[in-house]
Amino acid sequence: MSNVIGDKYTSLRFDVEKETAVRADLLEVMDYQYPGQEVDVEYYTEEFTSVCPWTGLPDFGGIYISYVPDKKLIELKSLKYYLLTYRNVGVLQEHVVVQILNDLVAACQPLSMEVEGDFALRGGMGTRVKAAYVRE
């Protein structure tokens, strides 16, 4: 038995999936019936999880998506399943927001979109990340 508190944790590691486990192919879109009429669409979840790429410990947070569609809308069930694929993925909070933005823009080709991640406190420090896209 070791005399140093914490020794048993130094080699402890949880399974962490690579970012390639994210399933952007699950995203589905549907026709926006009013192309040319701009509306703001907002989706959010406060139950987003991914994991720290180094420790495997969970990161919890809210993901907030707002966009102005052009011709396509994101289908909500597919968005939920897509976000669930991050559950065991080791990814930095700053990167996950950009990856979600890029995947959603590729899927629905909006006029503009913003994704914000508001991650829970860890060690007294929270993280809020925003990424935006505007079609040229």
Active-site residue 70, yes or no?
Answer: no
78: left (phi over 0), alpha (psi -120 to 50) or beta: alpha
Active-site residue 52, yes or no?
Answer: yes
CA 128 to chain centre: 12
Q: Which two tokens stand for residue 124?
A: 């007294």
Q: For residues 93 and 116, is the Cβ–Cβ distance under 8 A? A: no
| Catalytic member of 59, 103, 108, 118 | 59
| Catalytic member of 7, 31, 52, 118 | 52
CA distance 92 to 103: 16
Query: Annotated active-site positions, please?
Result: 52, 59
